[in-house]
Structure 1
Amino acid sequence: MAAEALTTIDDETLAKFRSAAEASRDLVSLGALAQYLSDIGQTEEAEERFKSALASVAAPPDTPWALRRAYAHYSGGLAVLCEAMGQVERAVTLYEHGLAAHPECPTCLGNYPLVLQAQQRPLDEIEEAYERALRVHPRLISVMLKYSLFLRHRRASVDRAEAILERALEFEPAHADVLATYAVFLHAVRSDDPRIEDLYARAAAADPRCVNTLSNFGLYYSEIARAHDKAKAKYDCALEIDPAHANTCYNYAVLLESTYDDVPAAVAMYERAIDAQPNHAYALYNLAVLMEEKIRDLHRAETLYRTAVAASPRDALANADLGRFLARRRIEAADANFDEAKHFLETALDVNYECATAHAALGEIALFLKEDVRAKACLRSALKADAKNNAATRLATKMRELEHLRLQRDNPLPR
């Protein structure tokens, strides 16, 4: 029984299905029950049913071909479950057992490259797994889309990634996932491509309730097309379907703040994103900046900055702005204890030495400590990283003002 046929069964039907599977104790019945339980999130029972299903037949190659095929499929099903539970090594073993039983199993072939990626296996090994899957099943769309992401992000091969997407689109010109993935790809790597809007529109038409597509379409209108009212309309549609979609809330908040200067609405939308996803580092960080610069709620700003760093400890800008914020509070209090601020600023530079905000904040600390040579070096580094950075510009202005005061002090006008 296919998983799709089981998704709407009621408790009574499930109980009958469970009883029938227990009575038969055969691979297909137990495996189908396990797959359904996995699909509805009953992980513990699903795992036990998968194990019982696989144990119900002789180990391949002694199993008849039809059962080998089912054995491979349900090995793949248990492997997917193991991946979700963080048991990557076990998942690898299950996929390999499945492929040994039935080398053409689409479930195992399609998912095996992803588990190799999770293990950080050599790129050539991962790529061979993708190529093997597509040699056996050339039109396996889900594998093609995953392969294109691998080629783009892990191989840094934009042209090869696009070629895979072109092939997928040729096979399935109305497939919502293909259209949406290609639109996102072009949006990211070639934002002036005239096909992007059409691809998003076709993807949304193919699956009108796909929130990710609507959200990304809104981001395209906001960032690239600069059609802000259209962006709002797409975000509204997405949130009507899923009011707690964190990325949509975040992107909408950015639009409300940066384009419409609607601070209360932006705050509410950032908070909505954080409620939906408490560790949403970007929403935490942006709301912290807004609290500091526009609302002047410094206590809440500090809390948000700290939470953003906790959510994304290796984010350079989050560390830099927390360090900058703490340094400024110390300077305003005439407190020379900058140890904590320096820790976050140095972490930012360790992640990204070109972080202008971190260089500039270290320059402000040096200036306060009257370490002028150090302050000038920090300013040079900040301006080299980003000549338009606000923190760098502020430091340069402060240094000019101090230099002007020194000149006045050392060269007073004659009476």
Structure 2
Amino acid sequence: MALELPPSSIFSPSAPATISAIQTETTKYEKDLLMKMGTAPNDPITLGAMASYLGLQPNRYAETVEYFERCLVNCCTGGDIRSDVDDSYKLVYSTYVSLYASFLCSCSNDDISDPSFVGDYKKAGSGSTSLLENIDLLYRRSVEEHDNEPNPINDTPVFLHRNVKDYKKADQMYESFLDSHPEAASVWSKYGNFLKSVKKDVKAAEAAYLKGIKAGPTNVECLTAYAVFLHGTLQNYSKAEVYYSRAHEVDPFHVNNLSNYGLFLSEIKCDFEKSEEMYQRAMKIDPNHHNSIYNYAVLLDSGIKDKSKAEEYYTRCLEVNPNHCFCLYNLAILVEEVRGSTASGKSEAEALFIKAVQASHNDPMTIADYGRFLLVCLDDVERAKKELMKAIEIDGNCVVGNYNLGVVEYNAGKFSGALKYFGKVLKREGNHWESMRWSARCCVKEGRRKEAENFYEMCRKNVPEEDRGGVNAEIEDLKKGGKGGGGKRRGSK
């Protein structure tokens, strides 16, 4: 499951006024705009409204880009979005250049080089060879046109740190702007996110969130961002619930808060019924809100245990966001569990694992679990070892990576090497009973009986009831002078 921070920009069309209204009158609204363009095809206001509307719809990137560019071109005197702005369209241009930059930034946050998006972008007629350069240009013009007002500044540092990775410049821009605009609540919230995720300064992040709430006590973005911080970072669950509840009271239709509050209720309170209610509300307000769909799928998968319905919602999430790495990963695990005993199920699961790794190529957990799948389900030791090594190169303490590499080493007869990997697991998770069991087996193989007994004793204290019989049998076998178990086995989760 994933905590979702408030979006880096509020992307909404001129009308209808709410997302729910858009969903109930989608066809009518689009037709009305097309009719207006039939009589005034170059009206920037109508073109901008269409672009803003399309930006909320899934899989309509190319059309969105086309309408934004047509809107901005028709605001300029030189027939180019980089030329001077016509005085009569200053306000229109300043609004839509900021929204356009935010749209491009939000579409490329997960993977700026995503070929499907960049392909759509180029096909739409921009002609830009660098998506980043064009976003940067739009943000610069946005800041110029707004004369340092909060709207574009709100997003520019986010763009700098998420896409350009210019953390120093982003930090400077946040500090400079907040020095002169301490009342900008949502900017404090975004700065808190930056301090938490980029600078890893938890104390400073909390201070920024609290300044945002002080500046805007009813600002839902600030309230829900702080709730997420308390929930996921500080693990102060009682206080997190207070802020989730405050945000919900201020705006019971805030989709991000509904999704995050639902996650809190299922993950921390184990209140599956109320959690399901939150997700369903969120999906009713915004049927394409992929994090609500995803979190509901996880609830069905892990909490309610309805695998069939969970698969339906994982699939639905991927229809909205095909590169949702957590969703691809969880669906791969589900397919492995449900159909992994068949050849077609194995192929289906592997295809999903590969997509998950591609969507999150620096996530050690995803890579390590793909390696585990190759080892456990496909018995492909060489490929498994390659993926597992990749995972621990990214995170030397990755539990799944080290554990399964320990199993690979054991099966190869390299017991000392296996012990090192299992030792890393136990250093990270002191009650990891499977690593204790394998460590005992390694010690038996090396004739280190006393150490084996110690590992088995630790294992017996931590092993779940359903596995206790097998561990006890190995201990009894060792007492009788046997090998204590540990024939060739494959890894597990």
Task: Specify if TM > 0.5.
Answer: yes
Give me the identity figure in percent: 27
Q: Distance in 2 between matches of 1:242 and 1:75?
A: 25
CA contact (8 A) 2:301 2:310 kept: no
Q: Distance in 2 between matches of 1:11 and 1:250?
A: 31
Residue of structure 1 in register with 2:362 after alignment: 314
Q: Distance in 2 between matches of 1:355 and 1:227?
A: 30
Residue of structure 2 in register with 1:4 after alignment: 14
Report the CA distance between 1:34 and its aligned residue.
Answer: 3.8
Q: Distance in 2 between matches of 1:171 and 1:16?
A: 41
Residue of structure 1 in register with 2:396 after alignment: 353
CA contact (8 A) 2:301 2:307 kept: yes
SS at match of 1:54: coil
Match of residue 33, structure 1, among 26, 37, 46: 46
Are residues 1:167 and 2:211 paired? yes
Counterpart of 2:260, as a letter, is N
Q: Distance in 2 between matches of 1:274 and 1:310?
A: 14
Q: Say which structure is richer in helix.
A: 1
**Structure 2: 5+ residue runs without aligned partners?**
1-11, 23-28, 55-63, 108-120, 122-129, 448-476, 484-493
Match of residue 388, structure 1, among 431, 434, 447: 431
Q: Distance in 2 between matches of 1:287 and 1:388?
A: 28
CA contact (8 A) 1:215 1:238 kept: yes
CA contact (8 A) 2:78 2:84 kept: no
Counterpart of 2:156, as a letter, is Y
Matches within 5 A, 1:113-152: 113-120=157-164, 122-135=166-179, 137-152=181-196
SS at match of 2:200: coil
Match of residue 182, structure 1, among 215, 226, 251: 226
Are residues 1:304 and 2:326 paired? no
Matches within 5 A, 1:21-170: 22=42, 30-41=43-54, 42-55=64-77, 72-80=94-102, 83=105, 84=107, 85=121, 87-100=131-144, 103-120=147-164, 122-135=166-179, 137-170=181-214
Report the CA distance between 1:187 and its aligned residue.
Answer: 1.4
CA contact (8 A) 2:317 2:327 kept: no
SS at match of 1:268: helix
Residues 302 and 343 (structure 1 numbering): CA distance in 2 closer, same or farther, change over 3 Å? Answer: farther
Are residues 1:272 and 2:330 paired? no
Residues 397 and 270 (structure 1 numbering): CA distance in 2 closer, same or farther, change over 3 Å? Answer: farther
Counterpart of 2:385, as a letter, is K
CA contact (8 A) 2:185 2:212 kept: yes
Matches within 5 A, 1:336-415: 338-389=381-432, 391-393=434-436, 395-396=438-439, 398-399=441-442, 408=482
Counterpart of 1:4, as a letter, is S
**Structure 1: 5+ residue runs without aligned partners?**
23-29, 332-336, 410-415
CA contact (8 A) 2:332 2:350 kept: yes
Match of residue 248, structure 2, among 204, 209, 215: 204
The answer to which structure, 1 or 2, has the higher relative contact order (CA under 8 A, 6+ apart) is 2
Report the CA distance between 1:339 and its aligned residue.
Answer: 1.4
Residues 231 and 68 (structure 1 numbering): CA distance in 2 closer, same or farther, change over 3 Å? Answer: closer
Residue of structure 2 in register with 1:27 after alignment: none
Counterpart of 1:353, as a letter, is G
Residues 82 and 383 (structure 1 numbering): CA distance in 2 closer, same or farther, change over 3 Å? Answer: closer
Report the CA distance between 1:152 and its aligned residue.
Answer: 1.8
CA contact (8 A) 1:379 1:396 kept: yes
Residues 391 and 322 (structure 1 numbering): CA distance in 2 closer, same or farther, change over 3 Å? Answer: farther
Report the CA distance between 1:354 and its aligned residue.
Answer: 0.9
Report the CA distance between 1:329 and its aligned residue.
Answer: 4.9
Report the CA distance between 1:180 and its aligned residue.
Answer: 1.9
Residues 186 and 66 (structure 1 numbering): CA distance in 2 closer, same or farther, change over 3 Å? Answer: farther
Residues 317 and 241 (structure 1 numbering): CA distance in 2 closer, same or farther, change over 3 Å? Answer: same
SS at match of 1:164: helix
Are residues 1:220 and 2:230 paired? no
Structure whose alpha-carbon radius of gyration is higher: 1
CA contact (8 A) 2:369 2:401 kept: yes
Alignment RMSD (CA, Å):
3.9
Q: Distance in 1 between matches of 2:30 and 2:316?
A: 32
Q: Distance in 2 between matches of 1:327 and 1:242?
A: 40
Report the CA distance between 1:267 and its aligned residue.
Answer: 4.4
Report the CA distance between 1:190 and its aligned residue.
Answer: 2.5
In terms of mean alpha carbon deviation, does 50-59 or 156-165 score higher? Answer: 50-59
CA contact (8 A) 2:296 2:313 kept: no
Residues 400 and 237 (structure 1 numbering): CA distance in 2 closer, same or farther, change over 3 Å? Answer: farther
Q: Distance in 2 between matches of 1:138 and 1:57?
A: 38
Q: Distance in 2 between matches of 1:66 and 1:11?
A: 27
Counterpart of 1:50, as a letter, is L
CA contact (8 A) 1:282 1:308 kept: no
Give CA-to-partner distance per residue, 1:290-338, whole Å, 9 cap, x none.
555677636425642552343233322232233233334576xxxxx62
- TM, length-normalised to structure 1: 0.77
Residue of structure 2 in register with 1:325 after alignment: 373
In terms of mean alpha carbon deviation, does 277-286 or 56-65 score higher? Answer: 56-65
Q: Distance in 1 between matches of 2:81 and 2:384?
A: 61
